[in-house]
Chains A and B, each alone.
Chain A
Amino acid sequence: YGLSALLPLIRREDQSPDYDSSMTLGIDLSPVLHSLGIPNNQPSRNRVLDTFQSPWVETSRSEVEPKFFVPESFKNIPNVLQSGERPPAFNSVQQDHAKISLFQDETLFYLFYKHPGSVVQELTYLELRKRNWRYHKTLKVWLTKDPMMEPVVAPGGASERGSYVFFDPQRWEKCQRDFVLFYNAIM
């Protein structure tokens, strides 16, 4: 019950056989807290249990839908996008083009990423192109020229270096980056 009982814990050489030190002395909790969304070892303003994915990091591969409430006034709004009583649908590239042009850039990005292999993905692609956004085939993100800067075309004409505004779908925001753009990479 005395101090010598602590020796196996603190003496480096003796550490392995007697106790599992990850449980006794424990570990640095900063990465664990970080994985929970609690920054800097301080209590977070966020309630992390409300979006808790799993007790283990390894099984927390995706976000889980938290509780949310949709007020009645947000639902069944008639005649959105002049579609009459039924909610708007985007089933025809020719017919639904006009509706798509009413959306803001962020809405177009949302529809593009949310509905793969659909008419609406195609429609949003066409509309974003009209607004001078280009889709990068390998990065799978949209970008547009920064109006404040003229890019410099490389000799050979295969690429240009310039300042672009990217839309980051992970952080859901536009961000400016200097970038070397290869023309065959965009569409």
Chain B
Amino acid sequence: TNKERMLLVFTEWVKLLQRVPSDDVKVAVFISQMIEKGVLSETNNVIEFTKAALELSVGSFKESDPTSEVFTATDAFSKLIVNLLVLQDFSEVDRSSYFKLIFSVITFVFSEDQGKTENTFNERPYFRLFSSLLCDWEDISSHNFVKVEDQRCRAQLVEFNKEFYRVIASFLHAYQPIAFPGFSFAWITLISHRMFLPKMLKLPEKAGWSQLVLLFTDLLKFMAQYTKKQDVPDAVSVVYKGALRVFLAVANDAPEFLVENHYELLNNLPHVYMQLRNVVLSAFPKHVSIPNPYNPKLSIDTVKICDQPPNVFYDPVHDLKTLKKPVDNYLRIPSASLSRTISSNVFRSEYEKDNGIGFDTVSVDVKLINAIVLHVGIEAALEKQRTTANAVFNVKSSYYTLLADLLNDGTTEVRFHVVQAIANQLRYPNAHTQWFNYVLKNFFNSEEWGENKTEIQEIIVRTLLERIVTNKPHCWGIIVTFTDLLKSTECSLMDLPFVKDVPEVELIIKHL
């Protein structure tokens, strides 16, 4: 049968690779003959061959003695794919479509295998295939494909390179844990693979960032969905540990990724993961020197780097939905009616369950609130650069009053999420941290809340405190803001009724 003939060709390929080095001319000759003889002449043949080769590789893994080389066929298949991408003439079909076709077939076989074997599904040969693909591609692509002699081909491959990773990223999104829980641990290992993650982080013009955010979001959503407050399933707890370690590695190597994507990442980070939230928010760009936040003489307004607004990769304005116009109009010319429109449209249409500290459901659109707060902060920092600091460090500025109105008109729940969103911007010294520090301090001391003052103060103290009582890291902006409140002559934290009511908290604050 056709399938048998293809398996024969693939087996010959496997044997060849064991006998000669992969850059031997015989390897190229083999590929050339495969093409000449029409083994892969049509789409159907490509599909059938891919299916056969993968099924044989997976089968051979399952049947091999576990102490021997179990991935021989899988590794050979990986090398075949890379050779096909490099050596073929792509004048009629483009490389990207060809690659996607192969990957689609792999996905089909994978998904069938998963469906058939369910709990006995073994992710390892599929993991190995993707891992080896990444390694083999790295080998051929290093130094701008210098190993490829044909200059025209080389130029095409250089052009194609980022597409290679983007295709893999898009398929990884399809393989996410919620879709294929039996592949979860392999998946997390793949998104953090040494030949994938650093590459995606460093693609020119941040070309890999959107997809990385999507993949991290897939991970966070999975964890969010299945992290119960009590009784976290062991496997989910292991997932969390792995995720934490990956985020720490990213914070070390590419903190700017976390800095610029904090908004999107936090939108999907379960509230209960307080330490992980701090890991994301305490990232700061390399080469930025951070003054000691515990220095009692520190004044945020004298920190020079607070002139710089942080980069924000994804503009939250895209998430403002119907409130974009009202918000932007309000910032230009504040009005009570615009403010009312904004305040009344931050609610969800139905309750959603949430894992919060102290709450189980959410009736406000938290993502929308986060978007509003960050957008206002971005605009305030821009305004400061365009005009003067006084334009925004001013309790009468529209930037300030928009947020103040949200608190004034909002329910307790709204107030909480607005303050949380503000706290999310108290990060390393930058223009946003400085402005939101100003906002929060003024909110704390303001007399405009009337009988709601105590509640708002308590929410502010709770929000800051919860980010300090965790194990490190702690955000610079949170420490500085909390210190400012502690030093405040206008209001002593220790005298506040809600602090006195909770002796444990009183003790902590006294200690701080």
Q: Which of A30-38, A89-97, A98-106, A119-127 contacts B (4 or more CB under 8 A)?
A: A30-38
Contact check: which of A36, A49, A53 meets B201 at CB < 8 Å? A49
A19 at the interface (CB under 8 A from B): yes
A184 to B164, CA, bound (A): 59
Enumerate chain B residues within 8 angstroms of A7, measured Cβ to Cβ: 502, 504-505
Enumerate chain A residues within 8 angstroms of B15, measured Cβ to Cβ: none
Chain B residues 236-256 with CB under 8 Å of chain A are 237-238, 240-246, 248-255
Given A3-B505, A52-B194, does the pair A10, B230 have CB atoms closer than 8 Å?
A: no
A6 at the interface (CB under 8 A from B): yes
B485 at the interface (CB under 8 A from A): no
B248 touches A49 (CB 8 A): no
Which residue on chain A has the smallest CB distance to residue B242?
A55
The secondary-structure label for the interface of chain A is loop
B483 at the interface (CB under 8 A from A): no
Chain A residues 1-54 with CB under 8 Å of chain B are 1-7, 9-11, 17-20, 22-29, 32-33, 35-36, 38, 41, 43-44, 47-54
Which residue on chain A has the smallest CB distance to residue B277?
A26
Q: What are 16 A-B pairs at a CB distance below 8 A? A: A1-B416, A2-B459, A5-B462, A6-B505, A26-B274, A29-B471, A29-B472, A32-B248, A50-B253, A52-B192, A55-B188, A55-B192, A55-B245, A65-B135, A67-B139, A69-B142
Minimum C-beta distance from A80 to chain B (A) = 17
A36 touches B194 (CB 8 A): no
Enumerate chain A residues within 8 angstroms of B101, measured Cβ to Cβ: none
Enumerate chain B residues within 8 angstroms of A20, measured Cβ to Cβ: 227, 229-230, 232, 237, 272
B452 at the interface (CB under 8 A from A): no
B37 at the interface (CB under 8 A from A): no
Minimum C-beta distance from B462 to chain A (A) = 5
A171 to B125, CA, bound (A): 33
A2 to B471, CA, bound (A): 21
A183 at the interface (CB under 8 A from B): no
A19 touches B230 (CB 8 A): yes
B229 touches A19 (CB 8 A): yes
A24 to B462, CA, bound (A): 14
A27 to B194, CA, bound (A): 26
Known pairs A29-B471, A55-B189 / 20 extra A-B pairs, C-beta < 8 Å: A2-B458, A3-B458, A6-B357, A6-B466, A6-B469, A10-B505, A18-B229, A19-B229, A24-B272, A25-B274, A28-B471, A29-B472, A36-B245, A48-B249, A49-B252, A49-B254, A50-B194, A51-B194, A64-B194, A67-B142
A66 at the interface (CB under 8 A from B): yes
Which residue on chain B has the smallest CB distance to residue A11?
B504
A9 to B504, CA, bound (A): 11
B230 touches A43 (CB 8 A): no
**What is the total number of residues of chain B having a CB less than 8 Å from a CB of chain A?**
68
B275 touches A23 (CB 8 A): yes
Residue pairs across A and B with CB atoms within 8 Å: the count is 165
Enumerate chain B residues within 8 angstroms of A25, measured Cβ to Cβ: 274-275, 469-471
Enumerate chain A residues within 8 angstroms of B294, measured Cβ to Cβ: none
A110 at the interface (CB under 8 A from B): no
Contact check: which of B243, B273, B502 meets A55 at CB < 8 Å? B243
B158 at the interface (CB under 8 A from A): no
Contact check: which of B143, B229, B278, B498 meets A3 at CB < 8 Å? B498
B413 at the interface (CB under 8 A from A): yes
A179 at the interface (CB under 8 A from B): no
A24 touches B194 (CB 8 A): no
B193 at the interface (CB under 8 A from A): yes
A32 touches B193 (CB 8 A): no
Minimum C-beta distance from A30 to chain B (A) = 9
A113 at the interface (CB under 8 A from B): no
- Cβ proximity bits B373-414 to A, threshold 8 Å, 1 near / 0 not: 000000000000000000000000000000000000000110
Q: Most chain-B Cβ atoms within 10 A of its Cβ — which of A4, A20, A53?
A: A20
A182 at the interface (CB under 8 A from B): no
- Cβ proximity bits A59-80 to B, threshold 8 Å, 1 near / 0 not: 1000011110100000000000
Which residue on chain B has the smallest CB distance to residue A12?
B504
A169 to B271, CA, bound (A): 47
B8 at the interface (CB under 8 A from A): no
A10 touches B240 (CB 8 A): no
Given A19-B357, A43-B286, does the pair A49, B232 have CB atoms closer than 8 Å?
A: no
A23 touches B272 (CB 8 A): yes
Given A32-B248, A49-B250, does the pair A54, B189 have CB atoms closer than 8 Å?
A: yes
A52 to B200, CA, bound (A): 14
Which residue on chain A has the smallest CB distance to residue B458?
A2
B357 touches A5 (CB 8 A): yes
B412 touches A1 (CB 8 A): yes
Which residue on chain A has the smallest CB distance to residue B227?
A23
Minimum C-beta distance from A62 to chain B (A) = 13
B473 at the interface (CB under 8 A from A): yes
A41 to B471, CA, bound (A): 13
A112 to B469, CA, bound (A): 53
